Structure 1
Amino acid sequence: MSKAIYLNPESRTWTSARKSQAGTSAQVLSFHRTLPDYAETPLRALSDLAASLGLGHVLLKDESARFGLPAFKILGASWAVYRAVAARLGLLADHGAESGVSIPIQDLGARAKNAGIRLLTATEGNCGRAVARMAAYLGIPVRVFVPEFMAGATRAAIRGEGAEVVVRDGSYDELIPAVWAEAEADENVLLVLDVSFGNYETIPSYFVEGYSTMLAESERQVLDATGGKPATHAIVPCGAGSIAQAVTEHFKSAERSERLGPASVVTVEPTTAACLMASLRAGRSVTIEAGDTICCGMNCGTLSTTAWPVLQAGVDASVTVEDAESHRAVLELRDRGVLAGPCGAAAVAALRRICADVKAELGLDGNSVVVLFCTEGPREYEIPA
């Protein structure tokens, strides 16, 4: 077996211990529907790819234009900011599919502004822009720390949301202590990150909940696209782990298994920033020195502390891909009319790799229904040699 693939023996009997997610998912969807430009993102059938790989269906959940932003992150960021701001103000932020939103976003923004609340985050790009967009919805200030190597166009896009951008040397992981210190020094500053560490776990958990909208949409869309056949395999980019945690908990929940049957989860990372792969092989969460990659959104050296136990127990296979593979997948999708960035296209590269190496071991065959989560739209990057 290739060193680029790790098959997890722990996952076969694991079921998520998380309680029923249906209620939370309905609340999150109710909230998302109140935001400007809410619409389901498309599920695209890659029929020729499925036929060439000997699979029943390959379906791609295209998150390249979620709420007008080029990535899925706004789903988690909007819910996390809403819940966190409400909690800071001592307000109840429950939602109901029938009763609607308990606190309209305009009212919450007015109260937050009167209280002097300011948001603070750190980002490799998409998450920071999403937090900035939510701050704009609320009408409150936001500071976004970014690494110096971030492309100028990405910085400009974040500033375009009305954010103050603070550039610092070092990697994303090295920005965390700086934003933590700033948040600790000012009681009006609310730190919003999608990665958990130490005692900072509640707000990252809201990000994970926020992604349930994407998962609920995709389940319905898959059944429609296949004539009632549910997904049997899901492939998702990892990064620090929040989106992979959401996907794993969803597909490995007892509720989902009883209703639609079992499903396997495969994660993908760039070879230069494969902290999940390293952690799975070590049997514990480890920090690695992440190297340059065109998959900027996955350029993380440390897993979210709340994501790690779920990924360790529930991920069936961890795959790493070279930047050149992700770039070829971008071109492959473009030829099929799908515009994706390298993080999103990496799921296609991972599918090709597992079909070449561990197809039988993962139960992939002509009956399989594979869902690829394409997490970002097209962007400029340096084409790998």
Structure 2
Amino acid sequence: MIVLGIESSCDETGLALYDTQRGLLSHALHSQVVMHEEYGGVVPELASRDHIRRAIPLLEHTLEEAGVTLEKIDAIAYTQGPGLAGALLVGSSIACALGLATGKPVLGVHHLEGHLLSPLLAADPPAFPFIALLVSGGHTQLMRVDGVGQYTLLGETLDDAAGEAFDKSAKLLGLGYPGGPAISRLAEFGDPSAYKLPRPMLHSKDFNFSFSGLKTAVLTVVKNHEEKVVANICEQDKANIARGFVDAIVDVLTAKCISALKHTGLKRLVIAGGVGANAQLRASLNAAAATKKFRVFYPELEFCTDNGAMIAFAGAMRLMINPDAAKKDYSFNVRPRWPLDEISVV
């Protein structure tokens, strides 16, 4: 079974073809980072318009690379939510139009389910069940994953997501957009003893997170700096602040993951979402895994951010369990807000 996946939830346009027998056949991705960098964040209207421009050329490239025609596709999976409403509408309308034109069934996929299952695309995939840390610009959640559609929420952020805290703190330091990679790179040159920033909810005895206070702590450090103006903070001091921030957020994420594994008795941890590419987080989790005797799995770096491959794969997994999940009903709606616990295998 060959599934076409279409991802357009935010600022990446992704197309991919997944074959349940041969694996990932091809994928193509366009990132809008350069376009949004000028504005310091994603502009929804611009994102939607760019998806319109990019989707069909990416589709043609994906088909050509795989040597597959639309007639050979068995189903079309698309991101139905959550995400930006306008951006979701682009991918949904294209998927349903293609389905109508070819007579192929279509399937709306939950964006976060795509991220949760993306490590299964790796050469060494985890087996069910496992604990998943879903950590991105919009979400920070700890889930127990017992199978496709079998997700139990253990904890989540009460305010800013981890990726959001990265971007906001980077902006306070005068770094560019997206801020996460920039502040992470800068932190490599920082002194870990220069700034001891708070670890919010580190000892809360639950699996929830809170990162707005950490962001505020960075703001306080910047405001209290003797030069008062971000532009005048020396590069070394910026690196020290970045290191203090990154160490704090990594410590919290690592501790919560260890607690969730201990609570459930599971020995497999999956990291999904854009922050899963963070080098400091990976190093911390790998060190903890060696000490605590559990295994940690990551998506391939190219699949940490939003992409069509994870949507094609998630759609294929659902159709293998329930072939009737895809419909030839080409009316569509999108769900900008869609709790993951509302989906199931049926």
TM range (shorter): 0.3 to 0.5
Q: What is the TM-score of this pair, normalised by structure 2?
A: 0.33
Highest RCO, 1 vs 2 (Cα 8 Å, sep ≥ 6): 2
Larger Cα-atom Rg: 2
Relative to the length of structure 1, the TM-score reads: 0.31
